[in-house]
Amino acid sequence: MKTLIFRTIAPTLTAIMVVFSIFVLLRGHNEPGGGFIGGLIAASAIAIYGIAVGVSEVRKALLVDPISMAGFGVFIAALSGLLSLGQSVPYLTGLWGYISIGATKITISTPMVFDIGVYFAVVGTISAVALALEEGEADK
Amino acid sequence: MESSYETALELDLPRAMLERATSAGEWNLILPVVIALMAGALLAMIRHSRGSQVGFSVLAVLAIIAVELDLFFQVLELGPVAMTMGNWLPPFGISFVADTMSVSFALAASLVTLVVLIYFQAEIVPREVRHGFYPLVLLLLAGVTGAFLTGDLFNLYVWFEVMLIASFGLLIIGGRKMQLDAAIKYGFLNFLATTFFLVGLGYMYGLIGTLNMADIALVAGQADPAPMTAVAALFLLAFGMKAAAFPVNAWLPASYHTPDAAVSALFGGLLTKVGVYALLRIMVALMPASRELFDPLLTGIAVLTLILAPMGAIAQTNLRRAIGFLVIGGIGAVFAGISVPNVLGIAGAVFYAFHSMLTMSAFYLVAGLVERVTQATDTRHMGGVYAANSLISILFIVLVFAAAGLPPFLGFWPKMLIVEATISQQDWILMSAVLINSLLTSIAGSRLWAHIFWRPGRDGANSEVPNDHLRELNSTEKRMALSAVCVLVGFIVILGLLPNLLFNAANFSAMDLLNPQSYITSTGIETGTSLTGETQ
């Protein structure tokens, strides 16, 4: 799109949306949010950037193919379940670890790894669809 | 907030979580699906490097087959095994359960996938590899295996969706107009079927408060029979559409012949059988009361499918369309087995489905070779292949006999079981339908054989003039495609000559389906969820 206002604001907007999507992803386990909704926000950010600067620019900026990103997401989501293999518990059992940095206690868990996988799968799939649609429009 | 979370954990522990340790050996139940899913994901990441994908996907399928063989012999010896995800107790967690039927179907599915992957090397199209042929095949296998091994109805729905998405991809991957047309018919009707399934699931959850299969088997009898019948009717419609039983079979012959032969083989072998599996599991094991009510309907579907499908095959001139009708005929045989609710009938249905997975895949693969040799898809433009390549003609006629159920080939044994079952029930109409189906199938098959192989030339005035459109198979086609098909057909012949293992497996499957007690015990559910959804 050739609007000056949109083209100026779009990169900033995209950056904010991606950061916000990561925030939504990480607060997911106990509060509203999570990988799916975070992934949708990030994918909309990518779609907005695509509308503003064109699909080829976005593909360059993404560095990896969206479908590969989705594959990576499915892969680590499945991997997060395999981490419980050595613990005498069934597949996909949540394992929790705590790291203390000063007064803050950070929780690290396999459900979080799973959610990150979901995040990548959603970002990859939705942005692949969005970019393909935007590409089709540009051809006409 | 965190402390409240921990107290909640302590309160819930005794009732909702598993306390027994799970050994690493039990993971063979989940590994086939996990390997397929992870390999599919990894292949999606490396789909632009063409060389490494073949080897990697073949290795993954080999690993899956190894795990499934281990699981198969374990289940045959010790009975069903189960694992509930996330250390929750069923019905809170999603269970995976393997009994003889599910694991033998899963094994057949991965064998077919392996053969198809090797066969595909002969018809490899760079465009299709770039668009993700290998990841889609692995995802399809993950969906099919997941559907066979899951012990939870909602999870079954999820695997149906995985399978559906992968099959859409494979159906349109060549990008031909005909394929898009097929994808619309296939996609629309299959989405409709999955929607019926989902609606049924919603009603069922509202009625009995559980979707865990073992739990359903325990409480379905106590539920109000009238709404349960409605749920069963929705399931019957949904899975009947998936399995392509008459009169909801139109999507199959309209779509299966359009993609490459390798993809057709994958579809013909795997997809309809998942619908069959779901019918066997749900109608026979989980809702026997509703199945009894639907008996006349099931018999009617069986008779009509058995007789009309091979007639469709006789009427077709397109080779792979005709084979599509033969696939549907096999579904009729399975329905005949389901509508005779004794061990013989159910064992016959399970055995037939297993046989149909192998035979129909091989049939499509041989059809692909025939199409390569004759450079045509319509039997009217074929002819003289016997002189050009007699090996293909032998493979073809073996598969015709196997599909028709002539001894000593694989299809004979399940049909014998089904006929015995119908005799024991004195259901003469069904018995004659099964026998007429065999006759019609052999007529359809030998008609195809006569046209493609026996007749020296093409249709019409040239039929006595040698066909000049034939070409030799090149060396890759011989090395990959022909040898892969030979191995699969050889396997079918050997299984037909030594059917004891399969007889045992089919018997065990039938007994487990008719009396699901050991299936239920394996999941660890004892009393069942009450109708209000509280544990007793």
Q: Show residues of chain B in contact with A125, CB under 8 Å.
A: none
Residue B38: is it exposed, middle or buried by C-beta count within 10 angstroms (0-12/13-18/19+)? buried
d(CA B492, CA B490): 5
DSSP B294: T
Cβ atoms of B262 and B345 closer than 8 Å = no
d(CA B451, CA B462): 13
Q: Which residues of B386-410 are buried (b: 16+ CB within 10 A; e: fewer)?
A: bebbeebbebbbbbbbbbbbbeebb
- Report the pLDDT value the prediction gives residue A1, as an integer from 0 to 100: 65
| DSSP per-residue string spanning B348-416 | HHHHHHHHHHHHHHHHHHHHHHHHHHHT-SBGGG---HHHH-HHHHHHHHHHHHHHHT-TTSTTHHHHH
d(CA B367, CA B313): 14
CB contact under 8 A, B43 and A71: yes
Cβ atoms of B118 and B58 closer than 8 Å = yes
DSSP B176: -
Q: Is A92 on the interface with B (CB under 8 A)?
A: yes
Q: Closest Cα of chain B to A49: distance in Å?
A: 23
d(CA B503, CA B495): 10
The backbone torsions φ and ψ at residue B318, rounded to the nearest 5 degrees and listed phi first, read -80, 125
Amino acid at A8: T
Radius of gyration of chain A (CA): 18
pLDDT tens for B481-530 read 899 999 999 999 999 999 999 999 999 999 989 988 888 888 887 765 54
**Which of A67, A79, A105 comes nearest B38 by C-beta?**
A79
Place of tokens 């012999």: B73
- Report the pLDDT value the prediction gives residue B154, as an integer from 0 to 100: 94
CB within 8 Å of B526: residues ≥ 6 apart: none
In angstroms, what CA-CA distances link B453 with B329, B390, B448? 23, 8, 8
Q: Is A89 on the interface with B (CB under 8 A)?
A: yes
In angstroms, what CA-CA distances link A87 with A15, A46, A92, A95, B6? 40, 39, 11, 9, 20
Q: Show residues of chain A in contact with B1, CB under 8 Å.
A: 30
d(CA A91, CA A48): 38
Q: Show residues of chain B in contact with A91, CB under 8 Å.
A: 27, 30, 34, 83, 85-86
Q: Extract the residue ranges of chain B whose pLDDT is less than 50.
A: 1-5, 8, 12-14, 530-536
Domain that holds residue A35: 4-139
Q: Closest Cα of chain B to A75: distance in Å?
A: 5
d(CA A140, CA B18): 59
Looking at per-residue pLDDT, the higher value among B301 and A138 belongs to B301
Cβ atoms within 10 Å of B313's Cβ, excluding its own: 26
Three-class SS state of B525: coil
d(CA B382, CA A37): 55
d(CA A21, CA A43): 9
Chain Cα centroid distance, residue B399: 18
Number of structural domains in chain A: 1
Q: Give residues 104 to 133 of A whose Cβ lies within 8 Å of B.
A: 105
pLDDT tens for A32-53 read 888 999 999 999 999 999 999 8
**Which of B23, B42, B86 comes nearest A94 by C-beta?**
B86
Spatial CA neighbour of B294 closest among B367, B228, B385: B228
CB contact under 8 A, A91 and B27: yes
Q: Which residues pair with B84 in a beta bridge?
A: B95
- Report the pLDDT value the prediction gives residue B529, as an integer from 0 to 100: 53
- Report the pLDDT value the prediction gives residue B19, as an integer from 0 to 100: 67
Spatial CA neighbour of B32 closest among B145, B152, B200: B145
Model confidence pTM above 0.90: yes
In angstroms, what CA-CA distances link B226 with A8, B217, B231? 63, 17, 9
Containing H/E element for B19?
A: none
Q: At what angle do helices B483-497 and B343-374 cross, to 10 degrees?
A: 150
The backbone torsions φ and ψ at residue B528, rounded to the nearest 5 degrees and listed phi first, read 85, 155
CB within 8 Å of B505: residues ≥ 6 apart: B76, B100, B104, B350, B354
Cβ atoms within 10 Å of B495's Cβ, excluding its own: 18
Which structure tokens are listed for B263? 């993809």
3-state secondary structure labels for all residues of chain A: CCCHHHHHHHHHHHHHHHHHHHHHHHCCCCCCCCHHHHHHHHHHHHHHHHHHHCHHHHHHHHCCCHHHHHHHHHHHHHHHHHHHHHHCCCCCCCCEEEEEECCEEEEEEHHHHHHHHHHHHHHHHHHHHHHHHHHHHHHC
CB contact under 8 A, B41 and A78: yes
Which structure tokens are listed for A22? 């990561």
d(CA B520, CA B80): 9
Q: Is B226 on the interface with A (CB under 8 A)?
A: no
Q: Closest Cα of chain A to B87: distance in Å?
A: 6
**Which of B2, B41, B84 comes nearest A74 by C-beta?**
B41
Nearest 5°: CA angle at A26, between A24 and A32?
Answer: 50
Which structure tokens are listed for A64? 């990896």
Q: Give the pLDDT band of residue A94 (cuts 50, 70, 90).
A: confident
pLDDT of residue A135 exceeding 60: yes
Nearest 5°: CA angle at B464, between B458 and B466?
Answer: 65
- Report the pLDDT value the prediction gives residue B375, as an integer from 0 to 100: 87
Q: What is the ipTM of this complex?
A: 0.90
- Report the pLDDT value the prediction gives residue B129, as an integer from 0 to 100: 83
Q: Which residues of A87-124 are buried (b: 16+ CB within 10 A; e: fewer)?
A: eebbbbbbeeeeeeeeeeeeeebbbbbbbbbbbbbbbb
d(CA B17, CA A137): 52
pLDDT of residue A128 exceeding 80: yes
- Report the pLDDT value the prediction gives residue B9, as an integer from 0 to 100: 53
- Report the pLDDT value the prediction gives residue A137, as an integer from 0 to 100: 61
Q: Closest Cα of chain B to A8: distance in Å?
A: 33
pLDDT, averaged across chain A: 89
- Report the pLDDT value the prediction gives residue B49, as an integer from 0 to 100: 80
Spatial CA neighbour of B236 closest among B167, B301, B310: B301
Three-class SS state of B318: strand
CB contact under 8 A, A30 and B1: yes
- Report the pLDDT value the prediction gives residue B270, as an integer from 0 to 100: 92
d(CA B290, CA B249): 23
d(CA B513, CA B347): 9
Q: Show residues of chain B in contact with A88, CB under 8 Å.
A: 21-24
Q: Is the dihedral of CA B262, B264, B267, B273 positive or negative?
A: negative
**Which of B2, B41, B85 comes nearest A92 by C-beta?**
B85
